[in-house]
Chain A
Amino acid sequence: MSAEPVLEIADLVVEYDGTTALRGVSLAVGAGEVLALLGPSGSGKSTLLHAVAGFLEPRSGTIRLSGTTVTGDGRPVPPERRELAVVFQNYALWPHLSALDTVAYPLRRRGARRAQARTEALAIMQRLRVDHLAARRPAELSGGEQQRVGLARALARRPSVYLFDEPTAHLDTHVRAAFLEELVARQRDSGAAAVYATHDAEEALGLADRVALLREGRLLQVGTPQEVYDEPVDLFAARLTGPASVIDGGRLLVRPGWARLGGPLEAELRAVWFRGPHSDYLVDSPRGEVLIRESGPPRHTVGARVHWTLAHRWPLPGSPSDSSSP
């Protein structure tokens, strides 16, 4: 992380109608860094983004952008004067504007003349390979196209922080991969910070420099993808960040890659799934059920007696009796 964080959040509390949506969240994101906000629905991801964007007023806490307090110190700075851009889950493209005018919109707001804004917007759209859609309106675009236009609009803003609010939630799998690639590439080029809200662990781990885990308005854990995957603070965090087996009465976490078939331990194969490059085996051993991932097609059939080895494990810090969590 760089010395000077671009975005700093301290003790943020947000309430709606007496319901507390965020209960004291503190975070910092540096220039060029991507922070993923990972949490289930209702955990407060969007609320956090909305607070940063200035779409809502927190009850307490401060938000600083590039060293300037935008929330928490006197009158909050309105969204348009915060140097950030938002990419929305629903794309939020304006139905009355063409794609080109949509991308030109932030440029126009910075004072660019119409023609110049359009030229620049077209250049941005070319980089995202959506310039052929320039004349179309949102209703004439597919979801993936709409989100690319949404990304282009965000890029046109040239912000110091990007806020991505589950931008791929409504996209097809194959579109999603291409979009994410694009997004990461552009964001890295720009050197801006990014906060990326998602409920998809794979997406978060593959994309982010650091991952912040949210549960019921609280930060559970913040760390590199490796850290939150390998060393989750509790069972909830473990389950949130990927497939997890818990053995020995809930005390030991085993990720699918941490166990192998063959070895001293005995178990019965309960289920097997072919996943293309690899296969997942669910084995039932005296220490508990374990998911094992091996490359290649399935080598055993359900019901077979198999042997397995535990190559790596992580003792969960949480209470051993907490295994009843989701």
Chain B
Amino acid sequence: MPARGTPTVVRAGVPVAVALLLAVLVALPLLRLVQVLWQESDGDLAGILGSPGLSTAVRHTVVLAVAVTVTAVPIGITLALVLRRPDLPGRAFWRVAVLLPVVVPDFVLGYSWTQAYARAGFTDTLLGLHWDGLLGPVGVWLVLVVNAAPLAYLVVAVGLAARSEPDLERAARASGAGSFTVLFTITLRLLLPAVAAASVLVFVLTLGTFAIPQVLGAPAGFGTVTTRIYADLSIGGDPASFLEAVTLALLLVLVAVVCVAPGDALLGPHLRSARPADAQGTQTVPGRQAVRRGQAVGLGGYLLLTMVVPLAALALSSVTRALGVPPTPGNWTLDHFRQVLTVRTVEALGRSVGLAVAAASLLVLLGGLVAVGERRRAGRATATLITLTLVLPGSTLAVALLITYGRWLSGTLTLILLAYLAKLWAFAHRPIAGALDRLPPDELRAARASGAGLLTAVRTVALRPLAPALLGAWLICFVTALHEVTMSSLLYGPGSETLAVVVLNSQELGRIGPTAALSVVLTLLVAAPAFVLWMVVGRLRVAHDGPHAEVARVG
């Protein structure tokens, strides 16, 4: 085992730093919550846990998380595998298009679906078709799946990019396995770390998700733990409600521990193995052009139903004068954009972008740190730990940080940044770890032996193969931080208003027009750099292991 780790590369500094950050970002805030609960409940947790409807909410939450995971992850894998084929017609376009749901805030996504498919929505107006089930558990599940699938795709795709070893699949084909058998016996097994990473992220994210169950679940009386937490914080303001909210949040953490920790402990050591030094290339075996075309059509249909129609409905409501009037040119207006694009919002936008960039960059760094550390036994516990703050609903995490650091940092951007780091650490870590775990240690050692310092070695040798994973992780963190509403609206102070705060404060979420306009602005704002980034990633990947490398190797 030690021969396969990176002991010569990673010095004591990294574990120390990681332990320190873990304490600051995860352990202390969680412990403070536990302490508050312990002191104020007088040990009477039974009363809170026995409250009516709680078991239903917990069941809803867990079933929902499982259902979303087992649907979104296969969709993500399918997208990653289909989009991997260089001969897919319009591949570059699809690769960007499937990421669209990531750049739309989830509360907007939920709304856009009702606008598209609910009674009096887009399809109802045009075709007389609407879907009542949208406002209920099935609708919550479906929209969460659509929301999570791009994340799963991204995690799996970066794993695939970092570990594509076509010879392993070729060997299976040449051993008599058909493409489906290869998929299940080889490809997916090799992807297991990335798939596990994606599953954990989607599962935990769904456990802690709030906006979509709130928007779509409430009409059917479908409550989850997070909607209960929201209700507890919203009503009363009394210590009992607050304690219940804290208890429920810690319950979520417990559920996450129970579900994630065994996976991390079992899968971790099982999956490591050294990658052959010159594994590269993306295409294993040519497929049929008709199949590719069919896949392109399938992709198009999926995107049309899950993204294009809802987003078109959203874009229309951003330019339509009022809700409920036909979105025809006569009713078009730019008022919503004027309301959103004021001097204050632009200022706040600058602050939000700065925060998101800082958070994403630090997170990628942190993610890399832990991913490097994870090759050791202790690192796996770290991976589990940082997932715990992801499951905490934003409101509770913000409260935990405020209780822990509020004396010194209340109202500062630093506290908001800490909140982002704590919330999104796992987002950065898991994709990077999924990609890194088969980077051969010899490559780093060779760089060190060639006179490179640790950082130079990482930069020159590890960065290139990891670039897709790093950029992917950066992108997820950036977009999520930019959209973040709950934590910043709870933590801000004078001079640290984020975009979400400014817009929320003047509009609340009930006013859909300005919110839609804001989403359109944000979407464009994120989509443009994202597109550029993705192109860069694509170029990097081609340069790294594309057809030219293939030609050089073959022969």
Contacts and interface: CB of A to CB of B under 8 A. Distances in A.
Within 8 Å by CB, do A and B touch in the complex? yes
A19 B174 contact: no
Contacts of A54: 173, 285
B273 A55 contact: no
Contacts of B12: none
B328 interface: no
Interface stretch (B257-265, B469-477, B546-554): B546-554
B551 A109 contact: no
Contacts of A109: 175-177, 181
B511 interface: no
A85 B174 CA distance: 6
A86 B285 CA distance: 14
A55 B555 contact: no
Interface stretch (A36-44, A265-273, A314-322): A36-44
Contacts of B338: none
B555 A57 contact: no
Interface stretch (A60-68, A71-79, A224-232, A302-310): A71-79
Given A55-B284, A106-B175, A79 B170 contact: yes
A309 to B, nearest CB: 40
Interface string A81-100: 01011101011111110000
Interface stretch (A24-32, A45-53, A184-192, A244-252): A45-53
B238 interface: no
Contacts of B274: 95, 139
B174 A96 contact: no
Nearest to B3: A139
A78 B173 contact: yes
Contact of B171 (A57, A94, A139): A94
A16 B551 contact: yes
A42 B552 contact: yes
Contacts of A46: 553-555
Nearest to B1: A139
B204 to A, nearest CB: 25
A255 interface: no
A16 to B, nearest CB: 5
B407 interface: no
Given A53-B170, A78-B285, A88-B171, A110 B176 contact: yes
Residue of B173, B174, B271, B285 with highest tally of chain A CB at under 10 A:
B174
B312 interface: no
Interface in B237-287: 271-274, 276, 278-279, 283-286
Given A55-B284, A139-B273, A94 B172 contact: yes
A92 B168 CA distance: 5
Given A17-B547, A43-B555, A85-B175, A75 B285 contact: no
Interface residues of B, number: 41
Contact of A55 (B170, B271, B551): B170
Q: How large is the interface on A (under 10, 10 to 19, 20 to 34, 35 or more residues)?
A: 35 or more
B170 A86 contact: yes
Contact of B288 (A17, A75, A80): A75
Contacts of A138: 273
B11 interface: no
Interface in A78-130: 78-80, 82, 84-86, 88, 90-96, 105-106, 109-110
Interface in B134-185: 165-168, 170-179, 181, 185
B215 interface: no
Contact of A86 (B165, B171, B288, B548): B171
A55 B181 CA distance: 16
A47 B174 contact: no
Interface string B279-304: 10001111010000000000000000
Contact of B548 (A17, A78, A153): A17
Contact of A96 (B173, B177, B189, B547): B189
B190 A96 contact: yes
B167 A90 contact: yes
B179 A78 contact: yes
Contact of B273 (A95, A106, A163): A95
Interface in B504-555: 547-548, 550-555
B155 to A, nearest CB: 19
B279 A80 contact: no
B4 interface: yes
Interface string A255-293: 000000000000000000000000000000000000000
A42 B555 contact: yes
B278 A90 contact: yes
B206 to A, nearest CB: 28
Nearest to B290: A75
B171 A16 contact: no
B200 to A, nearest CB: 19
Contacts of A43: 555
Residue of B165, B167, B283, B548 with highest tally of chain A CB at under 10 A:
B167
A45 B555 contact: yes
Residue of B171, B172, B178, B547 with highest tally of chain A CB at under 10 A:
B171
Interface string A122-158: 0000000000000001110000000000100100110
A39 B555 contact: yes
A42 to B, nearest CB: 4
B551 A19 contact: yes
A254 interface: no
Contacts of A96: 189-190, 192, 271, 273
A106 B279 CA distance: 23
B57 interface: no
B186 interface: yes
A275 to B, nearest CB: 30
B15 to A, nearest CB: 24
Contact of B555 (A21, A80, A163): A21
B276 A57 contact: no
B555 A41 contact: yes
A207 interface: no
A46 B272 CA distance: 29
Given A94-B186, A95-B190, A47 B171 contact: no
Nearest to B284: A55
A105 B177 contact: yes
B167 A88 contact: yes
Contacts of A94: 168, 171-172, 186, 189-190
Given A17-B548, A94-B168, A139-B274, A157 B555 contact: no
A79 B283 CA distance: 14
A180 interface: no
A106 B284 CA distance: 18
Contacts of B550: 16
B450 to A, nearest CB: 21
Contacts of B553: 46
A50 B167 CA distance: 10
Contacts of A88: 167, 170-171
A46 B186 CA distance: 22
Residue of B175, B186, B190 with highest tally of chain A CB at under 10 A:
B175
B286 A57 contact: yes
Contacts of B278: 90
Top-6 shortest CB links A-B = A95-B273, A109-B176, A79-B173, A46-B554, A106-B175, A92-B167
27 contacts: A16-B547, A21-B554, A41-B555, A44-B554, A45-B555, A46-B553, A53-B174, A55-B284, A56-B285, A79-B173, A80-B176, A90-B278, A92-B165, A92-B171, A92-B276, A94-B171, A95-B190, A96-B189, A96-B273, A105-B172, A105-B175, A106-B176, A138-B273, A150-B171, A153-B171, A157-B174, A163-B174
Interface of B: 4, 165-168, 170-179, 181, 185-186, 189-190, 192, 271-274, 276, 278-279, 283-286, 288, 547-548, 550-555
Given A47-B555, A56-B285, A139-B273, 5 more contacts: A16-B551, A80-B174, A92-B168, A105-B177, A157-B176
